[in-house]
Copies of this chain bind each other. A is one copy, B any other.
Amino acid sequence: MEPSPEEVPEGGSPGQMPAEPTQAERFGKARTAQAVALTEDYVELIADLMVAGGEARLVDIARRLGVSHPTAVKSIRRLKREGLATARPYRGVFLTQAGQELAERVRTRHRVVVELLRAVGVPADAAEADAEGIEHHVSRATLEAFSRFLTARR
């Protein structure tokens, strides 16, 4: 796989990083992406609920995500900490400017991924279901390629 095993000094010094995107880096990134994916799911859902019903209540968020309310509370707290959302008890959860921007990007990406899947022949239900997991791993470059592909064949 790698013809030149770079002499990396032992000792676990997390200082320098080789230029090539090693497999380790890719795996590591995929793992870190987990937390990001969660954030994106919440933000996307909150935006959805706002559009659909004018408000995003904790209970609804929890139910739609299939988690218990306390779990949702924890996650929302994280969103607040990260400046993506605010919440007023019994009034619902709201997205900040940053949150809305993120939601918009996520929503767009989701739509493009589903369309791409449909375009290459994936059945609707599978496309929707798989997109939920796939979307979080679609990089900017890949997303752009998807868009180009869809535009070209439209």
- Name A's B-contacting residues (CB within 8 A): 1, 12, 21-30, 33-34, 37, 41, 45, 48, 52, 63-66, 68, 116-117, 120-123, 125-130, 132-134, 136-139, 141-142, 145-146, 148-149
In the complex, the answer to whether B133 meets A137 with C-beta atoms within 8 Å is yes
Expressed in whole angstroms, the Cα–Cα distance for A29 and B134 within the complex equals 12
Expressed in whole angstroms, the Cα–Cα distance for A128 and B21 within the complex equals 10
In the complex, the answer to whether B129 meets A29 with C-beta atoms within 8 Å is yes
Expressed in whole angstroms, the Cα–Cα distance for A14 and B52 within the complex equals 26
In the complex, the answer to whether B130 meets A149 with C-beta atoms within 8 Å is no
Copies in the complex: 2
In the complex, the answer to whether B139 meets A137 with C-beta atoms within 8 Å is no
Q: How far is the CB of A151 from the nearest CB of chain B, in Å?
A: 11
In the complex, the answer to whether B52 meets A27 with C-beta atoms within 8 Å is no
